[in-house]
Amino acid sequence: MFAGNEHAAQWADEAAEFFGTHKTHQSHGVGIFRDRLRQLHLTVDNLEDTLQDEVLSVFHSTIITFQTSTCVKLVENNDGRGMYTHVMPQVAVPRRAPKTGHLRALQNRPEVGGHFKTGQ
């Protein structure tokens, strides 16, 4: 990217410092704006001018796959091959509370709480 430029080493160091600073980026969710990249002398093509329709098609297909299946990770190549990771959701089945008539029977059992008085 900087080949043949007299400032290549300096620009490469500045770019490496920018991308390698955790305090600046913090996580994958923090955006990196193209104007900032151009300030670092990096070559940036506008997506709107080239591949926007293709990238949006892949993005929407991926989002629909994640929302309508158990897939949590997918990797595909240009030969139609892919690897998919699925996670089966765990469903918690709520337990029914005992009926009130059974409460007195439980209170008479020492291992469950027979030391309580029933209030009679």
How would you write the pLDDT of the chain (120 residues) with one tens digit per residue? 888 899 999 999 999 999 998 888 888 888 899 999 999 999 999 999 999 999 999 999 999 999 999 999 999 999 989 999 999 888 888 887 666 655 566 666 655 555 555 554
User: Does 116 fall in a domain?
Assistant: no
Calculate ∠ Cα 12-9-23, nearest 5°.
35
pLDDT at 46: 93
CA gap 1, 5 in Å, rounded: 9
The partner residues of 82 in beta bridges, in order of sequence, read 76
Phi/psi region, residue 80 (left: phi>0; alpha: psi -120 to 50; beta: rest), is: left
14 and 39 both lie in a single domain: yes
Taking the alpha carbons at both ends of the chain, their separation in whole angstroms is: 88
Please name the helix (run of DSSP H) or strand (run of DSSP E) that holds residue 84, with its range, or none.
strand 82-86
User: Does 97 fall in a domain?
Assistant: no
User: Does 94 fall in a domain?
Assistant: no
User: Does 95 fall in a domain?
Assistant: no
Count: domains in the chain: 2
In the 3-class helix/strand/coil scheme, how is 13-66 assigned residue by residue?
Answer: HHHHHHHCCHHHHCCCCCCCCHHHHHHCCCCCCCHHHCCHHHHHHHHHHHHHHH
64 and 82 both lie in a single domain: yes
Q: How far is CA 103 from CA 35, 82, 98, 100, 114, in A?
A: 70, 57, 7, 5, 11
User: Does 105 fall in a domain?
Assistant: no
User: Does 31 fall in a domain?
Assistant: yes
pTM of the model: 0.53
User: Does 1 fall in a domain?
Assistant: no
User: Does 109 fall in a domain?
Assistant: no
- Domain of residue 76, residue span: 50-86
58 and 34 both lie in a single domain: no
